[in-house]
Amino acid sequence: MKPLRIDPKTADLDDLIERGTLLHGHEGPFLVAGIRMGLLALDLLESPGYFGLAAECEAGTTPPLSCLADGIQVGSGCTVGKGNLRVTEANRPRVTFTDAGGRRLVVELRAEVWKTFRESDADKATALAREAPISRLFLWERTAAR
């Protein structure tokens, strides 16, 4: 069986959001942010997604923040079922991606964006997650393999 691949340079964000909405049950800012975090990780770690990559999502299991984890699944191909997505109860919008070679990428939602997500109308917050430049949404740091 040939594994699927996600090319972050050519991926159709609208299509991924539609898939995420089908999985998750509704579109929302944390779902969309998670998808974009996953795509960013694939791009910066030069990963095809699904396999050879692991993610640790610190968003916890309480909505709406926990919706980030479903977005991570869609955007990176890391899933709880395959065991390459772990969700911890730190209750913050941060994900650490690690590739098979040990390189790490930590991606975190900017504090001001998180505040907007919490305080704004859901449609407005979702539009921000969908349309804002990556650098406006996230902070990230890469580390080399150990």
pLDDT per position as a tens digit, 1-35: 888 999 999 999 999 999 999 999 999 999 999 99
User: What local confidence, expressed as pLDDT, does residue 106 receive?
Assistant: 98
User: What local confidence, expressed as pLDDT, does residue 2 receive?
Assistant: 86
Residue 86 to residue 82: CA distance in whole angstroms: 10
Strands (E) located in 7-144: 53-57, 85-87, 94-99, 104-109, 138-143
Q: Are 80 and 56 in contact (CB under 8 A)?
A: no
User: What local confidence, expressed as pLDDT, does residue 144 receive?
Assistant: 84
As a whole-number percent, the residues of the chain with pLDDT over 70 amount to 99
The per-residue pLDDT of the chain, averaged, comes to 96
Domain 13-143 fold = 60s Ribosomal Protein L30; Chain: A; (3.30.1330)
Confidence of residue 112 (pLDDT cuts 50, 70, 90): very high
User: What local confidence, expressed as pLDDT, does residue 146 receive?
Assistant: 66
Per-domain residue ranges of the chain = 13-143
Query: Does position 82 have pLDDT exceeding 70, yes or no?
Result: yes
Handedness of CA 72, 75, 76, 82 (dihedral sign): positive
Query: Does position 109 have pLDDT exceeding 80, yes or no?
Result: yes
pLDDT tens for each residue of 35-55:
999 999 999 999 999 999 999
Residue 133's alpha-carbon distances to 83, 98, 116, 138, 139, in angstroms, are 30, 23, 15, 9, 12
DSSP secondary structure letters along 44-70? HTT--SSSSEEEEE-S-SSTTTTHHHH
Query: Does position 145 have pLDDT exceeding 80, yes or no?
Result: no
Query: Does position 76 have pLDDT exceeding 90, yes or no?
Result: yes
Q: Are 106 and 94 in contact (CB under 8 A)?
A: yes
Q: Are 93 and 87 in contact (CB under 8 A)?
A: no
User: What local confidence, expressed as pLDDT, does residue 73 receive?
Assistant: 98
